[in-house]
């Protein structure tokens, strides 16, 4: 069984999750936007280049490679929404945060592609 299969099974089956690990919930773009409006932090785990191309307004970049090395990079916040391009890297990041004891952890299912398909705003870096 691959990592993504394990993550999918763990998130979808309460019996499969460890009683000490808070669950990670997959949410859609509208839910992510609503959580952000209520104070949740959007953590973009893509590369610098991907982030500069387009991103959710107000998202903070912490590439997955850096996050794997140092979970203390996560800001103190009650609610974190992780995002990547398609949802795979952000699912991994959310699982890492939950395994480290963070609660209020969400994964934007479908990532930036779902955000764009929903017609929600993005910002880019000025060149």
**pLDDT by residue for the chain (127 residues), tens digit each?**
454 554 455 454 444 444 555 689 999 999 999 999 999 999 999 999 999 999 999 999 999 999 999 999 998 878 999 999 999 999 999 999 999 999 999 999 999 999 999 999 999 986 5
Q: Active-site residue 84, yes or no?
A: yes
Tell me how crowded residue 48 is: count the other CB atoms within 10 A of its CB. Answer: 10
pLDDT at res. 45: 98
The active-site residue, picked from 83, 84, 94, 114, is 84
Torsion angles phi and psi, residue 96, rounded to 5: -60, -45
Q: Are 26 and 90 in contact (CB under 8 A)?
A: no
* Encoded tokens for 56: 């959710």
DSSP 49-66: HHHHH-B-TT-EE--HHH
């Amino acid at each position: 069984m691959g990592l993504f299969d394990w993550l999918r099974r763990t998130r979808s089956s309460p019996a499969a999750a460890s009683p000490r690990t808070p669950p990670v919930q997959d949410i859609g773009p509208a839910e992510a936007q609503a959580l952000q409006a209520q104070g949740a932090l959007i953590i973009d785990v893509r590369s610098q280049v991907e982030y500069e191309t387009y991103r959710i307004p107000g998202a903070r970049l912490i590439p997955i490679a850096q996050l794997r090395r140092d979970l203390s990079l996560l800001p103190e916040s009650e609610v974190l929404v992780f995002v990547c391009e398609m949802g795979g890297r952000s699912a991994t990041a959310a699982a890492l945060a939950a395994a480290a004891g963070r609660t209020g952890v969400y994964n934007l299912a479908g990532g930036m592609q779902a955000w764009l398909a929903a017609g929600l705003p993005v910002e880019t870096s000025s060149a």
